[in-house]
Chains A and B, each alone.
Chain A
């Protein structure tokens, strides 16, 4: 087990090294970084001085080494817009985003579990059909639009929740529903399909013929096996949740790091964008590491492979 964890840890570090190249490359995607960073009407001698000052006249590998040696120390440079260090700017808003994605994940799992279960137990009944229709809507409605609908109905018409901001748990509800709805649909659907597959297996028939009640069969035999793909999926959903949080934070004016990203994109504030991508990737690598470890612990075959 120790060696398995070490191997996954090394893999995570390799991925992060790759992410650092990607983040470094962001500056060069547009061709000339100076053209991105300076206004169009900058005089040529000014451009040349800036190019030299920023080190853009050096070979790319040298520039990368310079970048990575600062990045590992948490130095992504100063935000062009806010004129403060970029990484703390992102990290300061991380807790708010974690609260939002955490609430979204909790919401999606808590609703997906009973929904998937009910749909599988009552296959091809009106209940199953309406759950599947809701799943289809959840998978197909764009987050920004869903957010606006929720605001119009629950914040403006009914006045149950605030329209925007982050004051208390009430302001977390609508953004969390927005961010969680896509994962909710994906999980409910996967759980339903998984349960139906498992329920068709021989050992379920055996369990039934032993005289176990449907409820016992479901909980002891079916749910456990159907949960395996759901756990894998949860690891993959983190990326979707963080991506969805960017949109929801913007619509609800929620002060997380996603809203910071949108404003940084608007200002072409590259250090903040680079810090954001690095922080997000680190989070995802950590979550996947945790999922891998949990897996190796649950299933001995994996840690030997």
Chain B
């Protein structure tokens, strides 16, 4: 085996910087937006971006009912980040604790949870989320709940595997021989081993969750209509693909940039947390 070798890569820090910018935009949305994202002005509909003959008042143009594209873009980051972060955190809490329990205690709990995760893997996340979203009331909290219970298995599988490996380490046996209890053993000796994989799963999952939320919003599901989202803005531009392409183009670019930044950060973290994998 070759010795671990760190390559200096700008991709990870770049991803982090872009994400920080997007998070700042979301936090400061009311200060940054030139207009109310829901305000319609029929007299100023379908204005092109300013460099294509639009007006400086609407830098990225307006949509089919005269709403400011830039303001909707800025506010849209809020839903994407909120849903992405909270789903990733809640699914992580659920998946990591259940993965720890299943991997550490084994037996019936493990068998049951593993079958459950097999079952969930047999249904595509998007399909399951669509099916459940159809039946619950639309709303941010319900959407986050649905996405959490459809994605926790991502953590569960990885964490369970990592625990199974860590459980057989000599220092774990040593700690047990010294009379260390289950709770302490899990928290002090096993949890640190699975933190790295959990962080890697979290970044990859967050990228996917943001795409899921955007897809559901695009289909008009999940997030209530009163909130501007990137997915719904793309859907708004669907009827104007040729005549007013800016309506659909910019929110799509925003989703892509956010997800790409998370992916870059995730790859970088994976390399850092796993010294034996250089690439």
Contact = CB atoms under 8 A, between A and B. Distances in A.
Asked whether A and B interact, the reply is yes
Interface of A: 11, 14-16, 18-19, 21-22, 26-27, 29-30, 36, 136-137, 139-145, 148-149, 151-152, 156-157, 193, 196-197, 200, 239-240, 242-244, 246-247, 250, 261-262, 264-266, 268, 270, 273, 276-277, 280-281, 284-285, 288
Main secondary structure of the interface of A (DSSP, over half): helix
B49 interface: no
Nearest to A33: B135
Contacts of A197: 277, 279
A200 B4 CA distance: 13
B127 interface: yes
B115 A14 contact: yes
Contacts of A26: 131-132, 135
B218 interface: yes
Main secondary structure of the interface of B (DSSP, over half): helix
A11 B257 CA distance: 41
22 contacts: A14-B118, A15-B122, A18-B115, A18-B119, A22-B120, A26-B135, A30-B135, A141-B252, A141-B255, A142-B234, A144-B215, A148-B238, A197-B277, A200-B2, A239-B124, A246-B126, A261-B131, A265-B130, A265-B134, A277-B127, A280-B123, A280-B124
Contacts of A136: 260, 263-264
A218 to B, nearest CB: 17
B134 A144 contact: no
B223 to A, nearest CB: 15
A143 B123 contact: no
A140 B256 CA distance: 5
B219 A143 contact: no
Contacts of B136: 29-30
B128 A277 contact: yes
Interface stretch (B30-38, B176-184, B241-249): B241-249
Contact of B130 (A18, A200, A262): A262
Given A140-B207, A152-B245, A243 B126 contact: yes
Given A142-B211, A145-B252, A152 B118 contact: no
Contact of A196 (B126, B221, B257, B279): B279
Given A30-B136, A148-B248, A262-B130, A243 B260 contact: no
Contacts of B123: 19, 22, 239, 277, 280-281, 284
Interface string B120-147: 1111111110111111110000000000
A200 B214 CA distance: 40
B127 A280 contact: yes
B132 A145 contact: no
A240 B124 CA distance: 7
Given A19-B123, A29-B135, A140-B207, 6 more contacts: A16-B122, A141-B256, A144-B234, A250-B219, A270-B135, A288-B122
A140 B119 contact: no
A29 B133 CA distance: 10
A262 B214 CA distance: 15
Contact of A239 (B121, B135, B257): B121
Task: Give the top 10 A-B pairs by smallest Cβ distance, nearest first.
Answer: A145-B252, A18-B119, A243-B126, A243-B124, A140-B260, A140-B259, A265-B134, A239-B124, A281-B122, A152-B241
B279 A268 contact: no
B215 A273 contact: no
B219 A262 contact: yes
A11, A16, A284: which has the most chain B beta carbons within 10 Å?
Answer: A284
A28 to B, nearest CB: 9
Nearest to A287: B122
A148 B115 contact: no
A243 B279 contact: no
B130 A246 contact: yes
A264 B251 CA distance: 27
B260 A265 contact: no
A186 to B, nearest CB: 11
Interface in B234-279: 234-235, 237-238, 241-242, 245, 248-249, 251-252, 255-257, 259-260, 263-264, 277-279
Given A18-B118, A145-B248, A265 B221 contact: yes
B272 to A, nearest CB: 16
B255 A145 contact: yes
Contacts of B131: 26, 261, 265, 273, 276-277
Contacts of B211: 142-143
